[in-house]
Structure 1
Amino acid sequence: MVGRTLADIRARLSELSVAVGPYRVVSARTGTPPLPVSGMQFPDRETAAEAASVATAYRSALRRYDPRLPVHDLIVCEGAFGTSAVSTASPSLPEYCHTIAGALFEVLSGRHRAVERAVMDSYLSAAEETENRERLCLAMLESMATALDTHLDPAEQADTLLDAAGQLPKKSPGPDPLRDALDALESAGLLDETAVEPAADGPGRRPRYVTLTNYRPSLSPSRCPVLPLVVELLRWTSVTPQVAEAERTDDGWRLLVSVAGDRPADGLSVVTAV
């Protein structure tokens, strides 16, 4: 990007925010804090007002990649955390997709411009065929997964996805980061249900079979874009996972996932059914 990057803007928001504060920045229309101020709190009204201005600049910059990103009039709101005026509901599917896409575009624009261009060409082509906002946001993630899988070798994919995850808010790992990552995808609306089963053997460490019911990103009946799952896992662990043995089910996918894989590893952006 030319000028101030999305990473710069996010860094400024982090500087302004505090762990606990009485002020939030919310959408005047929905009453909820949109990307990139979701979950953020601020110490006083003046700081929150600056955060609103910074967040508006962020969303304007992100519109370079997707002109359909909703426009929110951002306002400062004071109140107890969790009230209706400052709801912390899970991000909508479009907001979640834009969060992941924005971080990836920042990395691609700095080192893989050909991949960035391939993503945009594919996405703009999809935009000519549908006006469904959720379908378009999914198309962006699918285009990214395809471009990374096509143009970058496994090691380059691993580095790119790790750097993208590092630009997103860090999540504190719990006892089961795979379960945490799957819950985040379900909350965002990328799938309906998940099931996790132990696997006797597989690539990497702690291999488990994961069933994704009604997983919405899709390239074909034989190719599953797993980029959102990998990025989400990296947000929790910062360790490259591995996804293998994709199997198409009647209502989704069954994957063999290792939270920690061996680099370089296939199955970071797209997995092909066996």
Structure 2
Amino acid sequence: MVGRTLADIRDRLSELSVAIGPYRVVSAKTGTPPFPVSGMQFPDRETAAEAASVATAYRSALRRYDPRVTVHGLIVCEAPWGTDAVRTAPSSLPEYCHTVAGSLFEVLSGRHRSVEQAVIDSYLEAAEETENRERLCLAMLESMATAIADNLDPEVQADTLREAAGQLPRKPSGPEPVRDAVADLETAGLVDQTAIEPAAVGPGRCARYITLQNYRPTLSDLRCPVLPIAVELLRRTSITPQMAQAERTADGWRLLVSLAGDQPAEGLSVVTTTA
């Protein structure tokens, strides 16, 4: 990207924000704070105004890849100290997709321009076929998963996804990172319901069978784009995950997921089944 990178912009927002402050940056349309200022508070009106400008630059950078990223007229709103008087916007599917896509574009544009172009070409082709915003956001993630799986070897895939996850806010690593990761995908709207079962053996540590009901990213009945799952796990553990034994169910997928560590990085972007 030209000029400040998305990572630079996020770092500046972190510098401006405080743990507790009376000002928020919200959308003039909805009254809620959109990504990347959701959940942020600021100490004074001047700082919040700068944050609004920085957040506008961030969303403009994302719009370079997807012209359908929502345009929010960002304004500064005052709320009592230590309260959450300003409503917090729920995590929407488009917002989630754009967040993950933005971090991946940042890595691809610096090191793998041909892969970045493959994603853009695939996405533009999808944009000619549908105007449904959620379907287009999913198409972007699907295009990324396919381009990374088809053009990068497993070790480079692991490095790329790890770096992209590192640009996103880190999430706490609890005793059940697999369960926490798929729960966040459910909250974001990528899947309707999830089920977790312990696996007696697996390709790495913390092996779990996960069942994803109505998992929305899809390539075909034989190819499952698991990139969002890998990114969520890397945000928590920084350990390369591995996904295998993909099984197509009547309404989704069943996968064997584990934290593989130093084992060969397989099943990071797309998992293929012959069943």
TM-score normalized with structure 1 length: 0.96
Q: Quick check: 166-175 or 107-116, which moved more? A: 166-175
Aligned to 1:258: 258
Q: CA deviation at 1:262?
A: 3.7
Q: CA deviation at 1:44?
A: 1.3
CA offset digits 1:23-65 (Å, max 9, x no partner):
1111111111111111211111111110000000111111110
Aligned to 2:233: 233
- SS state of the match for residue 158, structure 2? helix
Cα distance, 1:105–1:272 mapped onto 2, change above 3 Å: same
Q: CA deviation at 1:152?
A: 0.2
Cα distance, 1:34–1:127 mapped onto 2, change above 3 Å: same
Give me the CA root mean square deviation. 1.1
Q: Quick check: 171-180 or 245-254, which moved more? A: 171-180
Contact 1:203 1:261 in 2 (8 A): no
CA distance in 1, matches of 2:145, 2:190: 15
CA offset digits 1:148-198 (Å, max 9, x no partner):
000000000000000000001111222211111111111110000100001
CA distance in 2, matches of 1:230, 1:32: 29
Q: CA deviation at 1:219?
A: 0.2
CA distance in 1, matches of 2:248, 2:62: 34
CA distance in 1, matches of 2:241, 2:90: 25
Q: CA deviation at 1:79?
A: 1.7
Q: Quick check: 199-208 or 151-160, which moved more? A: 199-208
After the TM superposition, which residues 161-180 of structure 1 pair with which residues of structure 2 at under 5 Å, given as runs? 161-180=161-180
CA distance in 1, matches of 2:24, 2:88: 11
Contact 1:21 1:44 in 2 (8 A): yes
Aligned to 1:114: 114
Structure 2: gaps spanning 5 or more residues:
none
Q: CA deviation at 1:261?
A: 4.0
CA distance in 2, matches of 1:210, 1:18: 37
CA distance in 2, matches of 1:166, 1:233: 11
Q: What is the letter of the counterpart of residue 82 of structure 1?
A: D
After the TM superposition, which residues 242-253 of structure 1 pair with which residues of structure 2 at under 5 Å, given as runs? 242-253=242-253
- The total of aligned residue pairs comes to 272
- SS state of the match for residue 75, structure 1? strand
Asked whether 1:210 is paired with 2:210, we answer yes
CA distance in 2, matches of 1:5, 1:214: 35
Structure 1: gaps spanning 5 or more residues:
none
CA distance in 2, matches of 1:36, 1:150: 30
- SS state of the match for residue 271, structure 2? strand
Contact 1:242 1:262 in 2 (8 A): no
CA offset digits 1:211-268 (Å, max 9, x no partner):
0010000000010000001101111111111111100000100000003444431100
- SS state of the match for residue 76, structure 2? strand
- SS state of the match for residue 159, structure 2? helix
- SS state of the match for residue 65, structure 1? coil
- SS state of the match for residue 197, structure 2? strand
TM-score normalized with structure 2 length: 0.96
Q: Quick check: 16-25 or 161-170, which moved more? A: 16-25
Aligned to 1:42: 42
CA distance in 2, matches of 1:240, 1:77: 41
Aligned to 1:32: 32
CA distance in 1, matches of 2:242, 2:262: 7
Q: What is the letter of the counterpart of residue 110 of structure 2?
A: G
Q: CA deviation at 1:87?
A: 2.1
Q: What is the letter of the counterpart of residue 69 of structure 2?
A: L
CA distance in 1, matches of 2:269, 2:6: 22
Aligned to 1:99: 99
Contact 1:213 1:251 in 2 (8 A): yes
Aligned to 1:65: 65
Aligned to 1:127: 127
CA distance in 1, matches of 2:49, 2:153: 44
CA distance in 2, matches of 1:148, 1:201: 28
Between the aligned residues of both structures, percent identity stands at 78
